[in-house]
A and B are shown apart, each in its own frame.
Chain A
Amino acid sequence: MISASALPRLLHRASGQPLSLAEHDHEFGLVSPQMDLLTELRESGLTGRGGAGFPTAKKVELLRDQRGHGKFVVVNAMEGEPASHKDLALLNANPHLVIDGAEMLARMIGANRIVICVSRDNPLVINHVNRALHERSRRSQRGPEIELHTPPWRYVAGEESALIHWLGDKESLPQYRPQRPTILRIGRSAALADNAETCANVGLIGRFGADWYRTLGTPASPGSTLVSVTGAVAKAHVIEVALGTPVRSILEVAGADTDPSAILLGGYGGTWLSGENIRLPFATEYLKEVGASVGAGIIMVLPKRACGILETYRITKWMANESARQCGPCAFGLPAMADDLQQLVSGGQGRKQSLDRLIRRAGEIDGRGACKHPDGVVRMVRTALQVFEKDLHNHINGSPCVASRESKFYATVPRFEREEDLVWE
């Protein structure tokens, strides 16, 4: 059995293998059927772990009040962020906990179908999930039917409207949703899309209750979260921490550089923070003061010897290529911003004008796409211009830092694909 105050909760496992169904039942116990799940979920204060941090109970209530019996629960383990590994780590450790949570969500909203989405680039995880589903199918035929789907991997394909659109036999492209909150639908059935980590947390709350869940974390953001630490770290890590742990101790546990020049929180569409902010607790109510949020639990560490402008340029260039090219401001604006950043990095002629143009374009692009992809890039570039003001000054004055001439990078950027090779299906 696992205890209340001890970590890990989500990544709990006996060996290197994922827990089998029997082990899982032994470690976590069976789900108590008499518990009022929705009340417990509301009291637990669980927020979505996919980045937006929307209260899960509210989302469940919204979907519960929808008509129809053919509802879906969609477990989003697409892991669109290259700097994030948490959903896959979770499914590698304990797929049954995620599926339990999805079943509880299905019971709460009255859904009879569960879809687990893992991108097809992860055959190992797909195997684990398939095995877990097989184990379950041998045990009982009751409950909602569970399927595994493997969409193609793209940065924006993990965005919920793109994922739901793909599940409706269409391309995995984000959709325009003028009204918010929107009820996403597969065909005519309403669908509840939740991150895999959120589902796993629901699986814990449904077993042990809200009071147990709140023993970790802060009053405003209870529970534990998975954090992917990348960048200046010996090995990319996924660790589970209680919310409210100082960022510095997360970096220490992960074996990362604890005197960084900056950290990038929330992934490639996130916020750069200067190095002294690692004293802050890792919880949204504290990070809000410096304009950041917990997001999907990604910390990218940039050491003192790296050039922030160069890293920002590489990330922006890749993100511009990952645009779905549906909306003009994103399809044309992001490559233009990447070009401006390249001017700044290489120190070419007219770099002062590039900076002015970059700031103007950032203001123009912000908030004009169908999804939040361009907004994220704009936020990342804007905060980079603030945090790396000194580097920027040097670049503009024609004395770029040493790091920008070496080819040593810290932000991992996946293969840059040609436009005609981008698969949306």
Chain B
Amino acid sequence: MGVIRRGDKFVLKVNPILCDGFGHCHELAPELVQVDEWGYPIIQREPTPLANARALQSARYAVRGCPRQALSIERIAGES
């Protein structure tokens, strides 16, 4: 994905200004994204291990499927 590989965990991040609440991310990555009563995403804040390949793949689907391109994957170094 052209991302510098560092860290062993990731979080999905949303730019709340760009986000218009289409809700595609919830459909593409239901394990990471919930929606609130207005349709805006509530993203899981705890970092997910990169080893969780299914979650990472659905996060990528969500990033690519966002109509406003408001999502991004941020890698986070673990505690160890």
| A residues lining the B interface (CB < 8 Å) | 175-176, 178, 326-330, 332-333, 336, 364, 367-370
Contact = CB atoms under 8 A, between A and B. Distances in A.
* Most chain A beta-carbon neighbours within 10 Å: one of B15, B40, B72: B40
9 contacts: A176-B15, A178-B13, A178-B15, A178-B72, A327-B40, A328-B20, A332-B40, A336-B37, A368-B42
B38 A370 contact: no
B8 interface: no
Nearest to B18: A176
A368 B40 contact: yes
B36 interface: yes
B39 to A, nearest CB: 7
Interface in B8-39: 13, 15-21, 36-39
Contacts of A370: 15-17
Per DSSP, chain A at the interface is loop
Interface centre among B20, B36, B39 (most CB of A within 10 A): B36
B74 A178 contact: yes
Interface of B: 13, 15-21, 36-40, 42, 45, 72, 74
B16 A368 contact: yes
A175 B15 CA distance: 10
A364 B17 contact: no
A369 B16 CA distance: 6
Contacts of A176: 15-18
B78 to A, nearest CB: 19
A133 B16 CA distance: 40
Contacts of B74: 178
Contacts of B17: 175-176, 326-327, 370
A336 B38 CA distance: 10
B16 A328 contact: yes
Given A333-B38, A364-B42, A368-B40, A326 B13 contact: no
Nearest to A179: B74
A329 B35 CA distance: 11
Nearest to B40: A328
Contact of A329 (B13, B18, B36): B36
B63 to A, nearest CB: 14
A328 B39 contact: yes
B77 to A, nearest CB: 15
Nearest to A174: B17
B42 A326 contact: no
A6 to B, nearest CB: 48
A336 B36 CA distance: 12
Most A CB within 10 A of own CB, among B15, B21, B39, B45: B15
Contacts of A333: 36, 38
B72 to A, nearest CB: 8
A336 B40 CA distance: 14
State the 7 A-B residue pairs at the shortest beta-carbon distance, nearest first.
A327-B16, A328-B40, A332-B38, A326-B17, A176-B15, A370-B17, A176-B17
Contacts of A336: 37
Residue of B13, B18, B19, B21 with most chain A CB atoms under a 10 A cut-off: B19
A186 to B, nearest CB: 19
A425 to B, nearest CB: 17
Contacts of B18: 176
A327 B38 contact: no
A328 B21 contact: yes
Nearest to B45: A367
